[in-house]
Amino acid sequence: MTVPVPEGGSFLSRRGTVSSNLSPSSGESVESLVAHNATHTMLLTVKSAVAEDEQAVVALWRACDLVASYNDPVADFRFAKAGPCSDVLVAVDDAGEAAGSVMVGHDGHRGWLYYVAARPTSRNKGVGRRMVQAAENWLRQRGIVKVQLLVRETNTNVVSFYEHLGFEVAPRVVMSRWLEKTS
């Protein structure tokens, strides 16, 4: 699938489009992009993470303050990779480093985004937007028509980022309960 980039977009292929080579049969997502900013051009490849990406992705989540004390990011990564209804996508830059990531999953009706991350040194260069777009493409391939995410009250500075991407604050009350005590 080729998606035109709006004027002023941060990600352009060599022809001014974002190329998406998504293979629903293999479950893999690979997209090569060029991120432009005033001082640096960075080639990004967005792909389904593999076991060898785990350490870098978890370090990225930690660097972006996305890990709560009650979450085990290694277990989250492995759980998402093990199931057919979830995945971890990672953007790798031209130096082979993880520049962004997103965990994506669905319940058969609603899609969910978790751990949307852009390396702190790559912020405001379109990496976060690209990760959200890659996750949305992953969901579309599986027939999911709605995407949701939760923002912790300690991270509300990202709400405007999501609103800029078309997300809306939903008038819902989220309730939860631990099924087992965590240590």
Superfamily (CATH H level) for 2-164: Gcn5-related N-acetyltransferase (GNAT) (3.40.630.30)
Residue 47 is inside which H or E element, if any?
strand 41-48
Tell me which of 43 and 91 has the higher pLDDT: 91
DSSP 182: -
Local confidence band at 18 (pLDDT 50, 70, 90 cut-offs):
very low
147-170 average pLDDT score: 94
Average confidence (pLDDT) over 40-64: 92
Parse the chain into domains and list their residue ranges: 2-164
CB 146 within 8 Å of CB 110: yes
| Averaged pLDDT, 153-163 | 93
* SS3 at position 106: strand
Q: How confident is the model at residue 43 (pLDDT cuts 50, 70, 90)?
A: confident
pLDDT of residue 16: 32
As a whole number, mean pLDDT of residues 137-146 equals 97
Instruction: Give the residue-averaged pLDDT of 93-118.
Output: 96
Residue 31's pLDDT is 52
Residue 155 CA to residue 69 CA, distance in Å, equals 15
Residue 139 has pLDDT above 60, yes or no: yes
Higher pLDDT: 38 or 152? It is: 152
